Structure 1
Amino acid sequence: MVWFALCCALLLAGYFAYGTLVEKIFGIKPERPTPAASLADGVDYVEMSTAKVWLIQLLNIAGIGPIFGPILGALYGPVAMLWIVFGCIFAGAVHDYFSGMLSVRANGASVPSVVGTHLGTFMKHFMNVFAIILLLLVGVVFVLSPAGLLSNLTGSNIAIWTGVIFAYYILATIVPVDKIIGRVYPLFGALLLFMSLSLIIGLGLSDKTFYSAGLDLTANMHPGELPLWPLLFITIACGALSGFHATQSPLMARCMQNEKNGRFVFYGAMIGEGIIALIWCTLGLSFYDTPEALNATMAAGGPAKVVHEVSTSLLGMTGGVLAVLGVIVLPITSGDTAFRSARLIIADFFKMPQKAITKRLLIAIPMFVIGYALTKVDFNVIWRYFGWANQTTASIMLWTAAAYLLRHGKFHWIATVPAIFMTCVCVTYLANAPIGFGLALPMATLIGIATTIALTVLFFIKIRRCENAITAEQLA
């Protein structure tokens, strides 16, 4: 219990200390009108209260990531919680803050436009394709997982629930942001917090021992002997660092009332998600006596089965059903905003105004047809590709933040250091993983380090060239 409380305290301290530093380095302008006021259109640019925007942001970025990811990460032992804490403070929350605030400064622009502004036209076009692929993968993952849970609860065919969820996604993607998302999602965000806190309290009141397998932070406890490096940093994404968040932050950047709310909305929502991730990692490490027992449950029904067993055992049947329903709501409410973000990215690319519903449908319908086709692919394959694509997107967004800070003469290392680290993680994973090149881990790590060094050097060269070009223009 002490270890869990300490980790939560570190996250909260990170928000007040490091979050304030990040905000100061960025340099907010409270007097500057936000896109919600200057570009109000009644569809995507709509002013909402700070509390409402924070709850929606938390729900949008959460999904099943801070639940399923930490459950899988718990197989590695208590060291997983260190990645959640320090990854969240120094990488994930920094990533979310800049993805949101750079969008605010760019009139609510989607992530490809923000990346293109700071890393060049090639990266803009690359991110247009990459972000849409990521969002479609997210949307599909967040269809299949709740459909499976609903099928288990009701005993009905999973295909029926898949169709129902897709029908809802179409509706939520095209209606104005304040009609469904603005009204209902704050309640769901509160449900997420209530569910998570209820479970950790239930664990404390039960006869279970916190961290039943011990607190050896130096041991890799994975029963399958999978290496900690680089898999832990891909497995636990949303609870520590997630590129998916960069696609979601512009949604609330278009609804935020003032730049001074950015630290609470963007950095703070990530800290909130980190606490949820700590809760589920703790549940995975405590409810089962050993990592092998946890692994056996996942082998029988995946992380969803763990959620069901933990919830019904700690909260009883009624509380368990409510908790499971909360876990069902999470991916659905992130899946629809994933498709909504994809619609906005495509609209930005084709410069297609979205006030008319016919224009929204013109983009949404083909997108959902592709999404439905992807549901026919094996879920485990989609999840593996999603994990790599997610963290690669996070790396690119961190490099974007670093470029912005460097060009404005600000302390860029708060973004550059996590960008370098995650680039090495992603390249090493791709070189080593079966979905990539399948190389031995030592060779994959060397390739990861060498590639990261080369990309870092190219980054600084490119930035310096851009600065020299700007200086030459000013002198001419």
Structure 2
Amino acid sequence: MSWFFLCVGLLIGGYFIYGAFVEKVFGINAKRQTPAFTKTDGVDYVPMSKGKVYLIQLLNIAGVGPIFGPILGALYGPAAMLWIVLGCIFAGAVHDYFSGMLSVRNNGESVPSLAGKYLGKGAKHFMNVFAIILLLLVGVVFISAPAGLLAKLTGWDLSIFVGIIFFYYLIATIVPVDKIIGRLYPFFGALLVFMSVGLTIALIVSSEHSLLPGVEIGDFLTNLNPNDMPLWPALFITIACGAISGFHATQSPLMARCVENESNGRFVFFGAMIGEGIIALIWCAIALSFFGGVEGLNAGMAGNPANVVYEASTGLLGAVGGFLAVLGVIVLPITSGDTAFRSARLILAEFFKMPQTELPKRLMFAIPLFAAGAVLTQVDFGVIWRYFGVANQATAVMMLWTASAYLLRLNKFHWICTIPAMFMTTVVISFMLSSPTLGAGLPIMLSTIAGIVSTLVITGLVMIRTKGKGEIEAVAEES
């Protein structure tokens, strides 16, 4: 039990200590007007209070990823918890902070525009295509997962819930951000708190289950996967949300358009990622504890992490409490799926330079996006999830390099972004080269060496091309 609370304590301490350091390196300007005021349009640019923006940001980023990912990652043992803690503090929260604050500094622009500004036009075009693909995959994943859980709870046909969620997504994508998202998310947040806190307390007081039974310090550095799956680099792709997720880079600009002051950035962006890390820790601990270890988890999961959610929730909280907990799990992906399509609409609008104040212009982008999403729902969920995982972490890599380039331009301490960018670049390249289904199927050692060499080359290129550039522009940005 003490290991779990130690991990939670480290995450909270990371917010106050490392978060303050990251904020200092970035250099906030509390007197500088944010896009919420300079570009107010009543649709996407709407000033909101710090608490409301934090809650919406948390629900935007905390989709099914910080639940399903940590459950799948728990098959590797407590090493998954170690990655959640370290990844969340030193990579994920930094990634989210810069994706949000760079957007605040650049009129609420989305990640492709930011990549183009700090890494070049090639990066912008690459990210435009890549971000749209990622957001479509996210939208589909976050339709299939909650629809499946709802069908399991009610016994109704899966297609009914797919249609209902699709319809909600369409409405939430085109109406002003404060009409649905701003009003419903506080209620959804209550469900999220109930799910997280309720399940943790139930596990602690349970007479049948113990929190992390028999876990020793050596287990955090050991691969306990019962299927002999290699920990490197698969664990760092499997657990994305909760540690570091490129999807968040597409979501942070949504709230960057609503932040009232730059001083709110650490709480909203860094803090929301820490909150998601705690959610991920809870589900990783539940997966390891409820089933008595990785062997029992492997059997209980039966290839689908949704089974773990259902069994653990009803087993710990009973029928009614379990229903509410599962409902909270259902809400998480839905509150990310709607904003995934909304982000895709805004990225397309930026690319075609088309204002979104008029409803017909919003529908012009939303309808084709939902048509493509409907087609993707027919693809096997397992296939979609694998491609989502790789696309997600590749997007995180691009955002971290964008932030690193920004700091290099200002001659600031760029290593807070460069080091996690280097690590995640190596992870993605190594995984792509070693994966037999998504890449070349090369041996792990050869793939890792190629990943390290490629990362060093990329690091050199970024430093040479950006260091010391844009100093005059940077002074203007911060004034």
Give the TM-score normalised by the residue count of structure 2.
Answer: 0.96
Counterparts in 2 of 1:465 and 1:258: CA distance versus 1, 3 Å:
closer
Partners of 2:142 and 2:422 in 1: CA distance: 29
1:276 and 1:156 map into 2 onto residues whose CA distance is 29
> Once the 2 structures are TM-superposed, how far is the Cα of residue 189 of structure 1 from its aligned partner?
2.0
1:72 corresponding residue in structure 2: 72
Corresponding residue for residue 218 of structure 1: 221
Output aligned runs, 1:384-463, within 5 Å: 384-433=386-435, 434-463=437-466
Deviation for aligned residue 1:211: 1.6
Provide Cα deviations, 1:211-265, integer angstroms capped at 9, x if missing partner.
2353322321111111110011111111010000000000000011100000000
- For residues 168-207 of structure 1, what are the structure 2 equivalents within 5 Å? 168-207=168-207
Structure 2: distance between partners of 1:352 and 1:468 = 30
| Contact 1:15 1:267 survives alignment (8 Å) | yes
Paired with 1:229 and 1:431, the residues of 2 have a C-alpha distance of: 12
Inter-partner Cα distance in structure 2 for 1:446 and 1:199: 42
3-state secondary structure, aligned to 2:166 = helix
Asked if 2 retains the 8 angstrom alpha-carbon contact of 1:212 and 1:288, the reply is: no
Tell me the CA shift for residue 203 of structure 1.
Answer: 0.2
Structure 1 residue 460 displacement after superposition: 1.5
Q: Is the 8 A contact 1:96 1:246 kept in 2?
A: yes
Q: Give the conservation status (yes or no) of the 8 Å contact 1:55–1:190.
A: no
Q: CA shift at 1:426, angstroms?
A: 0.2
Supply the RMSD in Å over aligned alpha carbons.
Answer: 1.4
Mapped to 2, the partners of 1:70 and 1:256 lie a distance apart of 30
Q: Distance in 2 between matches of 1:29 and 1:191?
A: 35
Supply the AA of the counterpart residue of 1:412: H
| Shift, 1:466, TM fit | 4.6
Match of 2:44 in 1: 44
Residue 215 of structure 2 aligns with an amino acid whose one-letter code is: G
Alpha-carbon distance between aligned partners in 2 of 1:206 and 1:129, rounded to the nearest angstrom:
48
The answer to whether the aligner puts 1:351 opposite 2:345 as a matched pair is no
Tell me: CA distance 1:470–1:309, structure 2 relative to 1, closer, same or farther (3 Å): closer
Are positions 1:374 and 2:376 aligned together? yes
2:288 maps to which of 280, 285, 288: 285
Structure 1 contact 202–314 (Cα < 8 Å) conserved: yes
Cα-to-partner distance string for 1:411-437 (whole Å, 9 max, x where unaligned): 000000000000000000000112111
Q: Larger deviation: 185-194 or 34-43?
A: 185-194
- 2:334 and 2:447 mapped to 1: Cα distance? 36
CA contact (8 A) 1:420 1:452 kept: yes
Please give the secondary structure, in 2, of the residue aligned with 1:14.
helix
Paired AA for residue 305 in structure 1: N
Aligned to 1:237: 240
CA distance in 2, matches of 1:444, 1:318: 49
Work out the percentage of aligned pairs sharing the same amino acid: 66
C-alpha distance in 2, partners of 1:96/1:147?
28
Please tell me whether the aligned partners of residues 58 and 276 of structure 2 are also in contact (alpha carbons under 8 angstroms): yes
Measure how far apart 1:107 and its partner are.
0.5
Is the partner of 2:220 in helix, strand or coil?
Answer: coil
Residue 160 (structure 1) aligns with: 160
In 2: Cα distance, 1:379 partner to 1:299 partner:
15
The SS at the match of 1:91 is: helix
SS of the equivalent of 1:234 reads helix
Could you report, residue by residue, the CA deviation over 1:3-34 in whole angstroms, capped at 9, with x for unpaired residues? 01111111111100000000011000100111
Structure 1's 214 and 464: CA in aligned 2 closer, same or farther, altered over 3 A?
A: closer
Deviates more, 1:369-378 or 1:182-191: 182-191
Question: Partner of 2:233: helix, strand, or coil?
Answer: helix
- Which residue of structure 2 aligns with residue 474 of structure 1? none
Cα distance in 1, alignment partners of residues 220 and 98 from structure 2:
31
Counterpart Cα distance in 1 of 2:467 and 2:123? 17
In structure 1, the residue corresponding to 2:240 is in which secondary structure? coil
Letter matched to residue 210 of structure 1: L
Deviation at 1:74, TM superposition (A): 0.6
Deviations 1:44-88 (A, max 9, x none): 000111100000000000001111111111111111111111111
1:343-364 CA-to-partner distances (Å, cap 9, x unmatched) read: 0000000001100000000100
Equivalent residues of 1:213, 1:289 under 8 A apart: no
Structure 1 residue 162: Cα displacement: 0.7
Q: Please state if 1:260 is matched with 2:251.
A: no
Instruction: Report if the CA contact (8 A) 2:174-2:363 is conserved.
Output: yes
Q: Report what 1:25 is aligned to.
A: 25
**Aligned ranges for residues 69-148 of structure 1 at < 5 Å?**
69-148=69-148
Unaligned 5+ segments in structure 2 are 475-479
Partner of 2:339: 337
CA distance in 2, matches of 1:247, 1:78: 30
Where in structure 1 are there 5+ consecutive unaligned residues?
A: 472-476
Distance (whole Å) between structure 2 residues aligned to residue 382 and residue 470 of structure 1: 41
Distance 2:50 2:220 in 1: 38
Alpha carbons 2:15, 2:270 under 8 Å: kept: yes
- Corresponding residue of 1:209: 210
Could you tell me how far 1:464 is from its partner in structure 2? 4.1
Judging changes above 3 Å, is the alpha-carbon distance between structure 1 residues 19 and 470 closer, same or farther for their aligned structure 2 residues?
Answer: closer
Asked if the contact 1:213/1:285 (under 8 Å) is kept, the reply is no
Residue 290 of structure 1 deviates from its aligned partner by: 2.6
> Whole-Å Cα distance in 1 between the matches of residues 465 and 391 of structure 2?
24
Aligned partner of 1:217: which letter?
A: F
Name the counterpart of 1:360. Answer: 362
CA displacement at 1:467 relative to structure 2: 6.0
Paired position in structure 1 for 2:477: none
The answer on whether the counterparts of 2:92 and 2:243 sit within 8 Å (CA) in structure 1 is yes
Q: What SS does the corresponding residue of 2:156 show, helix, strand or coil?
A: coil
Distance 1:27 1:354 in 2: 31
Query: Distance between the aligned counterparts of 2:464 and 2:432, measured in 1?
Result: 25
Shift of the alpha carbon at 1:440?
1.4
Please, what TM-score do these two structures have when normalized by structure 1? 0.97
What are the superposed Cα offsets for residues 295-343 of structure 1, whole Å, 9 maximum, x if unpaired? 122226x111100100001111000000001111111110000000000
Distance 2:473 2:318 in 1: 64
Residue identity matched to 1:79: A
